Structure 1
């Protein structure tokens, strides 16, 4: 049972804007008595979910992705399990917007996001991190599996036909870059992302519509990572 004082306080809250945001986003409002404890908790849960998702695709947004990436870097350093970061970019996306309009571009982004989501595991984190840019964290992902997944994603997107209300549907491709987090090494999200970005640039330079992954075996521990590891070792010995 709700305490009368808490009910009065709940009614004093300015929730109009929050409810409007949730309704505009198509979120389901709590099926509970308005201003009850269960209803307020449902509103908070819905707002948290809304703040972590990309409005266009429903994927994880950049802020939530960066938090997940930091957690994965720490997990790999502790567990030694392999983890792969993929960064993806829709090829020639500006031409899609210029030739067919931004609504068509949005539809292409949504369809690409759906294709990516269908090609990975539920445990993987898929995010839209920019206009036509996506990223995926694949925990516990050996080298051989990572190569297969990246190619599966590329093939799914290349097979898409996107109906944008024109006589002919649109088709598109993506370029993919990938890098494995160094195991048992204290790294950072920035260093890991830079490695994956270098592979993405290579995929574009080699003609686009391809996946280029840094070899897990050949991955080198950078000077920055060696410095971080040395700093941690010193702290542990003090």
Structure 2
């Protein structure tokens, strides 16, 4: 005999649902109007909305830190299995504290949102753009050969530089970013921490060399031959992969 839900349990469930709906409403997420409240379609929309909120940065709409960590873990696995090149870019808004100190935090938010949009305008649908924290962003670019890495980084840098941000009526702020990049070692199962640290080192170099520039680490591994690939697959944990 199954236990019937008590009034207390029903009340708690109603409160949790109302809190979820309030959170969705505050984020601007709309639920389908053609589905009755409580229907499967309506409940699925609620779940989808909550999943989106859990993976997105509230200010910019970019992937948040948690979603970025999941994405870079998948990319590390793909690079180790397929050997395709991949690039991680770390980007930081130059002299961002001055914007906050001069114009206020609301202006700083506008700058962050404008830079986020500029980054999105420069990448492919397959790429991941995330707000890494504060005024720092991270971009994962799968299947990005070293020959194109600096071109991509420069395109992003120039896009931001050419887009002044309106922070008040009649007031525009010139914004620049510095970028650092590192390529994933092909056919090697690295770690997210090491990969990001290498990109961060290049970002620090870009800042030290005057800001508003992109510095990329030179790839340390050359192209792997077919014979080397055969040896790798024959003697490693990947030998069972079709």
Look up the match of 2:56.
53
Q: Give 1:195 shift.
A: 0.7
Residue pairs, 1:150-169, within 5 angstroms = 150-169=153-172
Q: How many residues align?
A: 220
Residue 167 of structure 1 and its aligned partner are, at CA, apart by 3.5
Measure how far apart 1:11 and its partner are.
9.1
- The DSSP-based 3-state class of the residue aligned with 2:151 is helix
Using the TM superposition, give the Cα deviation of residue 38 of structure 1 relative to its aligned residue in structure 2, in angstroms.
1.2
Give the TM-score normalised by the residue count of structure 2: 0.85
Which residue pairs with 1:225 in the alignment? none
Q: 1:19 pairs with 18, 21, 27, which one?
A: 21
Cα separation, partners in 2 of 1:10 and 1:156, compared to 1, 3 Å: farther
1:41 equivalent to 2:64? Answer no
Answer whether contact 1:30 1:43 (CA < 8 A) is retained. no
| Aligned counterparts of 2:93 and 2:221: Cα–Cα separation in 1 | 26
- Distance, in Å, in 2 between the alignment partners of 1:145 and 1:68 is 21
1:85-124 equivalence runs, <5 A? 85-124=88-127
- Residues 42-97 of structure 1 deviation map (CA, whole Å, 9 limit, x = unaligned): 10011000110000000000011011001100110000000000000000000100
Aligned mates of 1:61, 1:87 — CA distance in 2: 14
Structure 2 residues without counterparts, runs of 5 or longer: 223-234
Q: Name the structure 2 match of 1:126.
A: 129
Q: Following TM superposition, by how much is the alpha carbon of 1:147 offset from its aligned partner in structure 2, in angstroms?
A: 1.1
Judged with a 3 Å threshold, the aligned counterparts in structure 2 of structure 1 residues 236 and 125 are, in CA distance, closer, same or farther, namely: closer
1:170 maps to which residue? 173
**CA drift at 1:30:** 2.8
Unaligned runs of 5+ in 1: 221-232
Q: CA RMSD in A?
A: 2.4
